[in-house]
């Protein structure tokens, strides 16, 4: 998905109470996309940003207490595309993907939140090139992180 298409799909979130959650392990190359996007956005946009690292389950209750209208989860997802490709998934689409380097599957994480509060959930997946321990982020994923950070800054400008 290109930057323009991404902006179009996410622009409906503009002006809403949105919580952006990054999931991933920065020690495993491209698996660190969630935390890396959060690092770029923290304090620079009007939406709240939370880096859950590899333990999103530890953040379920704090997310429920914040009661956002929208939950935008950013994670590395192997959906069979070219490295660095970005796609947006609704919760019902993600059960078919084999992804997780996390102790709690993203689908279970989302389901536990949705059982407690009414929230629209978007899982923003970035296709990894490699996720081995000790590797750096690939060039393709690094470019996707930059594109995504720019798009989210445009949607959630600071001071709104």
Q: What CA–CA distances, in Å, run from 90 to 52, 87, 110, 132, 144?
A: 20, 10, 10, 27, 20
Q: Could you tell me the pTM of the whole model? A: 0.91
As a whole number, mean pLDDT of residues 60-79 equals 94
What is the rounded distance in angstroms from the CA atom of residue 141 to the CA atom of residue 160?
Answer: 29
The better pLDDT of the pair 104, 76 is held by 76
pLDDT digits (tens, 9 = 90+) for 99-117: 555 556 777 888 899 999 9
Q: Check residue 91 and report its DSSP letter.
A: G
How many other CB atoms are there within 10 angstroms of residue 115's CB atom? 9
The hierarchical CATH code for the domain 3-155 is: 3.40.50.1450
Q: What is the pLDDT of residues 2-22, one digit of tens each?
A: 667 877 888 889 988 999 999
Residue 160 above 70 pLDDT? no
Q: How far apart are CA 108 and CA 149, in angstroms?
A: 26
Residue 96 confidence (pLDDT): 46
Question: Per residue in 13-50, pLDDT tens?
Answer: 998 899 999 999 999 999 999 999 999 999 999 999 99
């Amino acid at each position: 998905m290109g930057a323009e298409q991404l902006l179009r799909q996410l622009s409906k979130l503009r002006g809403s109470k949105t919580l952006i959650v990054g999931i991933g392990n920065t020690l495993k190359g491209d698996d660190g996309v969630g935390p890396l996007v959060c690092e770029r956005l923290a304090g620079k946009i009007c939406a709240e940003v939370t880096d859950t690292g590899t333990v999103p389950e530890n953040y379920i209750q704090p997310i429920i207490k914040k009661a956002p209208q929208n939950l935008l989860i950013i994670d590395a997802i192997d959906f069979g595309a070219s490295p660095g490709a970005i796609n947006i998934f609704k919760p019902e689409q993600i059960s078919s993907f084999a992804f997780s380097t996390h102790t709690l599957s993203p689908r279970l994480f989302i389901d536990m939140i949705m059982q407690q509060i009414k929230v629209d959930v978007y899982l923003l997946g970035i296709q990894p090139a490699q996720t081995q321990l000790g590797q750096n982020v690939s060039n393709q994923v690094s470019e996707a992180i930059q594109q995504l950070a720019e798009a989210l800054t445009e949607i959630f400008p600071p001071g709104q």
